[in-house]
C-alpha cells in the first residue's frame, strides 16, 4: 500500500522509497565503506549531470570515523582492542573530529547540491526535531555551534559534511537507540557533551522503545520534501 509523507508509515524495509521529488532509499544495515561508495557513486553522477540527487538512510555496524580535524587523543581505546571488538576505524574527508556510528543509530546521507551549508544543516535539524516530537520527545533544537541536534545539554544527533562543487557527502547521525556503552571508545567530536538517544528520552517519559526502521520511515519522506527548499537548481 502506498502512503503519503504525512501519513503514519509502517517501519521502512531495505529498498527504495520515493518522496515528492527527492528519491530516498533505506538501505537497512550497511557497512560503512559500502554506504560511502554509494554516496560517491551518486555524487559523481550528479556532478557529471548523469544522475539525480538522492537521500540515503541506513544503520551501520560499529565504526569510528575520523574527520579532517580529528585529534588522535580523542580515540580512547587502542587500535588492537578496537579490532578485537570488531569496531572499524576509518579516516574520511568530512569536517569535524571523531565520532561513532553503529547499531541503533540512523545515518542520514543527503547527496544533493545545496545553496548554503548552514541552511542545509539547519533544515535537516528542524526535520529531526519535528520527527522527535512526533515520537513523543519535544524540545529538541538545532544549534550551529557546536553543530548538531540538542535536547537540552545532551546531543541527540551529530552532523558533519564534505562539499565538492556544492554537492554534499556525509551528513547526520541520529541517535535512535544507541547504547550508552557505544561512546566509551571515543571523546565524541572532541568534547565532553553527553549523548542521548531518542529511546532514552522516550523512556524518561514512560514510552516504549522504537526501531531505527520506524524512525527512518518518518525521516525519509519528511526530508524528501523539506530539503527541496535548500537544493541548488
The tens digit of pLDDT for each residue in 76-108 reads 888 898 999 999 998 888 877 788 999 999 999
The tens digit of pLDDT for each residue in 41-50 reads 999 999 999 9
Domain boundaries, the chain: 17-230
Residue 46's pLDDT is what? 96
The residue annotated as part of the active site, out of 58, 159, 189, 199, is 189
Reply yes or no on whether 189 is catalytic.
Answer: yes
Crossing angle (nearest 10°) for helices 117-134 and 212-226:
130
Residue 192's pLDDT is what? 58
The reported pTM is: 0.88
Rounded to 5 degrees, φ, ψ at 225 are: -85, -50
The low-confidence residues of the chain, meaning pLDDT below 50, are 1-16, 18-20
Residue 168's pLDDT is what? 96
Q: What angle do CA 153, 154, 156 make, to 5 degrees?
A: 135
At the topology level, CATH places domain 17-230 in: BirA Bifunctional Protein; domain 2 (3.30.930)
Amino acid at each position: 500500500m502506498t502512503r503519503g509523507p504525512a501519513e503514519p508509515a509502517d517501519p521502512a524495509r531495505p529498498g527504495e522509497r520515493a518522496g515528492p521529488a527527492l528519491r530516498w532509499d533505506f538501505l537497512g544495515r550497511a557497512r560503512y565503506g559500502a554506504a560511502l561508495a554509494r554516496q560517491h557513486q551518486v555524487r559523481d553522477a550528479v556532478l557529471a549531470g548523469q544522475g539525480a540527487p538522492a537521500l540515503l538512510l541506513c544503520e551501520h555496524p560499529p565504526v569510528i570515523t575520523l574527520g579532517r580535524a580529528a585529534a588522535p587523543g580523542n580515540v580512547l581505546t587502542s587500535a588492537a582492542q578496537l579490532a578485537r571488538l570488531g569496531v572499524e576505524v576509518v579516516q574520511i574527508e568530512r569536517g569535524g573530529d571523531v565520532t561513532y556510528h553503529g547499531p541503533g543509530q540512523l545515518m542520514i546521507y543527503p547527496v544533493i547540491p545545496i545553496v548554503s551549508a548552514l541552511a542545509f544543516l539547519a533544515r535537516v535539524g528542524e526535520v529531526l526535531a519535528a520527527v522527535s516530537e512526533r515520537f513523543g520527545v519535544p524540545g529538541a533544537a538545532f544549534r550551529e555551534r557546536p553543530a548538531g541536534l540538542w535536547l537540552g545539554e545532551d546531543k541527540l544527533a551529530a552532523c558533519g559534511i564534505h562539499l565538492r562543487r556544492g554537492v554534499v557527502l556525509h551528513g547526520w547521525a541520529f541517535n535512535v537507540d544507541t547504547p550508552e556503552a557505544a561512546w566509551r571508545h571515543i571523546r565524541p567530536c572532541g568534547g565532553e557533551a553527553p549523548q542521548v538517544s531518542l529511546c532514552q528520552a522516550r523512556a524518561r517519559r514512560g514510552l516504549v522503545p522504537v526501531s531505527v526502521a520506524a524512525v527512518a520511515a518518518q525521516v525519509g519522506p519528511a526530508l524528501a520534501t523539506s530539503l527541496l527548499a535548500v537544493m541548488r537548481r
